[in-house]
Structure 1
Amino acid sequence: MIIDYANFGDVMTFDTTYGTNKELRLLGVFTDFNHHRELTVFGAALLYDETVDSYKWLFESFVVAHVGKRPKTIVTDQAPAMAKALNEVMPNTYCRLYTWHIMQNGIKHLGNLIEDGSSFLQVFKTCIFVFNDEIEFEKTWEDMIDTYAIHDRSWLDSIYKLKRKWVKCYMKNELTLGMQSTQLNESLNGDLKDYLKSDLDLAEFFAHFDWLGLKNSPLLKQAVQVYTTTIFRMLHDQYDLASTARIKNLKEDLLVHTYTVEFPHKPGEFIVSYDTVDKTFSCSCRKFEIVGILCCHILKVFDSLNVKTILDMYILKRWTREAKSGCILDNRRINVEEDVTLIATQRHRRLCPKLVQLASQAADNEVALL
């Protein structure tokens, strides 16, 4: 993230509309495009609340983490607390408003007038996106107000005062990289919904957040949903090794295809057999048989055969998040179900000594009480 921001942090977006974790904290994410116009994440934080002080802490911490560098342009929503904090922490940064948020607020204040397909919405979008000339915008805006005779104009008047932050013709001198302000919002929001669930604790939440960069791999996207954190890391290591391996030789018999897999500049070869009838794989390293996860050699052959997900037969339930789901029978043949509160209780027991130690340290520091 630090390297990406150093290279591409001239323009960025910041949004807090994404889902929360089970502690009910909003996730704020800093993003933008890289040199391939691909989504790049510069940082993220779970916010305690949406006050000026919380936003100031976040923006100041972000600047410190990135060695004092501030963006030339930041795209945000209309939250007054956020705007005030940004003005104090990044006074020389141009703040552009999300048109997506403007549209959502428009629905709240104008109702059906701004619904999809309405003539008002078409004119409104034209004012935002089309005009390069300020005079044309001003005339069309006035005509729109007169034509639709809106009874309560307070919201329209309030956003008109901020026109230099969201109307195309007023942003001609600002660096925006040609980005429509909804693009990153929609893209990342979809990915976050896939990876981040509301029942994750803080550690799990950010572990999953770190894996957002894997979203282009269907196999890893499947694995992060299926496996526990530890097992996913193990599989990811094998996946990474597979990317460096190469298939040295392929022997195609009638029923079985045999692949010889090797690594550049490393001694040794591994034999992967593929049964074309049963659609099964085996490797001379025997990792799956011994450990219970696929080896990098089979994953390399998966790539060669265009296999994009892990076959069900190679997912051991004992390594999955559902390993303890279902019922078992005790010695009296009675169903025994897992205590759903046990994990939380165990976590509470582990955290208590650490929290007591933290409280003791804080008690000795007068600043901590302020």
Structure 2
Amino acid sequence: MQTPPHLSRRTVVAAAAAGIVTASASPVRASGTRARFHTVGRVSRAADGSVAYTWPGVQFEGRFRGTGVGIVLDDADNDYDVHIDGASAATLVTPGRTTFRIENLPDGVHTVRLVKRTESPWAVGRFGGFLPAPEGAVLAAPRARGRQIEFIGDSFTAGYGNLSDTRDCSGNGGVNRNSSADLAFGALTARKLDADHQLNAFSGRGMVRNYNGGSAGTDFRTYYDRALLNVDGDVWRRPDSWRPQVVVIGLGINDFSTPLHAGERWATEDELTAAYESAYHGFLDRLRASYGPRTFLVVSATDLGNTAVFVQATRRIVQERNRRGDHRVRHWYYADAGLDHLGCDWHPSLRDHRIIAGRLGDHLASLPLRW
């Protein structure tokens, strides 16, 4: 990893080609100025002010005065990106329990953004806050953005393998080293619109059926209400401030992309489709109850697997909601013409995510949003 010119060689240690960054061990707790950060995404807050999280793309934004900043972390599984003043400063690969320090900045007021790149739903990350350099100070947290978008989906939404230029990532660092939720289409769209966002995505999960029929008895809906995906019965406490103007839902690829197997709950494709549509209506009811009648709910579909069944089912769902009088449920279909699917395991590449983000931006521009 090449050290940016404003970072100290003493504090940034490159290890192999992966760009591993190490720093001093530190307890993970937040108190006083450490709690001054803006959170983007779902977290579980501890009494000491630190936060735990599992969803991809969770990020923390702060402001500080001085020549450097410390980032208090405890996570031996996930990868992170650090941005200073809007520019990429470092990538932390499975940092463990550490205080990562950036030093030798010009003395003044700076912004810092820490973002969780990877998915790893069973590995809890913990963030203990930002620390000032000597004679510096952590300033009041950046204000929340007025625009809010929630993205719900699977591996496509999570940015699975999007940094890879080869579909077989087994010898290329694996999926985690080749994934960045911060460069998935949802995050790209949100940044372009200057919106806070949630990336509530879980690879392999469908609305009623998971990829290839796996993990029977659970599906995306099992986990949606949680802050910590690995804790049965966990419930995310939604703050009153989180009321997105748009929710984009991308669930269905895993339901329909592989054939049914003997022993599954659905004997035929028609039975699966009926169950999918019924569950989808129930899920939309949950979102309406949570976010109210003004939020746009965007039901998305794309070309993959059994495209005709997937797209037709989502169109029927939207048509039925509209027939019932809810005209803020919309359909967004993006064809994969022009996508190369060069990411890990035939997932969208970074180029693809940029294309999808552009198409989503066009769709959102067509909605009568007042934000």
Q: Sort the TM-score into its range (normalised by shorter chain).
A: under 0.3
Name which one, 1 or 2, has greater alpha-carbon Rg.
1
Which has the bigger relative contact order, CA under 8 A and spacing at least 6? 2
For normalisation by structure 2, the TM-score amounts to 0.25
Structure with the higher helix share, 1 or 2:
1
Structure with the higher strand share, 1 or 2:
2
For normalisation by structure 1, the TM-score amounts to 0.25
